Amino acid sequence: MQKMFFDVHRLGDVRAKPEECEPVMRNADIVSFDMSSIRSADARSISKPTPNGFYAEEACKVMRYAGLSEKLSCIGIFELTDEEDGGQTTHLGAQMVWFF
């Protein structure tokens, strides 16, 4: 990713200091957010659930930072499905769009 000049931030770094990802998100041209980066307790209908990942609140905060960008031309939320979880994951996706 660094060879292609993409900005990459690890989960632990963002969780420890979420405000440090704000300048990167505000300067982004394209943002891709994969729902599988959210822990399975908060987004249960992803195809490969994991016990670790962003909390739902952190995902919404990252999307808020992305929404502050004046350069952003494209944003994608991927792996958003409405499986057998009562719509929890879809609802979280909708909240992320609202925060954006």
In a domain, residue 1? The reply is no
CA neighbours closer than 13 Å in the CB half-sphere of residue 34: 9
The range of the structural domain enclosing residue 69 comes to 16-99
Using DSSP, state whether 35 is helix, strand or coil.
helix
For 1-46, what is each residue's pLDDT tens digit? 778 877 777 888 888 888 888 888 888 899 999 998 999 999 888 8
Q: Could you tell me if residue 50 is inside a domain?
A: yes
Determine, yes or no, domain membership for 8.
Answer: no
Number of domains in the chain: 1
Q: Who's near 40: CB < 8 A, 6+ residues apart?
A: 46, 49, 50, 51, 53
Residue type, 42: D
DSSP letter, residue 13: H
Q: Mean pLDDT, to the nearest integer, of 38-66? A: 90
Q: Is residue 5 assigned to a domain?
A: no
Residue 52 has pLDDT above 80, yes or no: yes
Say how many C-beta atoms besides its own lie within 10 A of residue 65's C-beta: 20
